[in-house]
């Protein structure tokens, strides 16, 4: 790769890292080509991007972006997984894949501008998906209104039952004679 190609690759990566809300750096030494292709497919299905790059290109490209703090002093083979959407989906894919393929080793991570440790990354992966969190939130917002309607309809229902019982027992018969 000549100097112009390296600069172009670094600029493309800088643009991608500037837009990414989540960046995960990992080592992939010993990962087969087929395993790497499978990882790329799974990451793409999660709506994220995966790229292998030289450490110097990663360092140059990350300069001036939030990812600069995690892209310093990299050693060995390095790959980047990044997304501008759902960090939980990316974390779930990477952790499940790393369990199956121990050759994938996490180096550093950045989520929403914050450097995260390995335990924090695992905690992120154990969170429910975005759609599940939205569904839970919607349920919690609707619950008070549902309980109010249920309580009010319960009172009306009990009143109707009492009135029906009174009619059966002729409690409302006219005795005005």
**CA-based diameter of the chain, in Å?**
113
Q: What is the pLDDT of residues 63-104, one digit of tens each?
A: 888 888 888 878 888 889 999 888 888 888 999 898 888 888
User: Please, what CATH class does the domain formed by 3-127 belong to?
Assistant: alpha beta
pLDDT band at 177 (very low <50, low <70, confident <90, very high): very low
Residue 157: HSE in the Cβ half-sphere, 13 Å Cα cutoff: 6
How much is the pLDDT for 116? 87
What is d(CA 154, CA 67) in angstroms, rounded to the nearest whole number? Answer: 57
Report in angstroms the alpha-carbon separations of 112 from 17, 67, 72, 74, 140. 12, 10, 18, 21, 26
Task: For the chain, give the number of residues.
Answer: 177
Domain ranges of the chain: 3-127, 129-177
Q: What is the pLDDT of residues 122-174, one digit of tens each?
A: 888 888 877 888 888 888 888 888 888 888 888 888 888 888 888 888 877 76
């Amino acid at each position: 790769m000549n100097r112009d190609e390296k600069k172009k690759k670094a600029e493309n990566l800088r643009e991608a890292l500037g837009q990414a809300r989540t960046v995960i750096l990992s080592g992939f030494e010993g990962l087969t080509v087929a395993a790497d292709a499978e990882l790329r497919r799974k990451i793409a299905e999660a709506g994220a991007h995966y790229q292998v790059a030289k450490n110097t290109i990663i360092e140059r490209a990350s300069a001036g972006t939030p990812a600069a703090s995690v892209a310093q002093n990299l050693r060995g083979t390095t790959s980047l997984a990044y997304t501008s959407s759902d960090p939980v989906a990316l974390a779930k894919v990477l952790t499940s894949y790393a369990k199956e393929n121990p050759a994938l080793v996490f180096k550093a991570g950045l989520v929403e501008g914050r450097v995260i440790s390995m335990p924090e990354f695992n905690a992120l992966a154990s969170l429910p998906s975005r759609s599940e969190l939205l569904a839970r939130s919607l349920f919690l917002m609707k619950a008070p209104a549902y309980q109010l309607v249920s309580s009010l309809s319960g009172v009306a229902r009990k009143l109707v039952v009492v009135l029906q019982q009174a009619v059966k027992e002729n409690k409302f018969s006219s005795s005005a004679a």
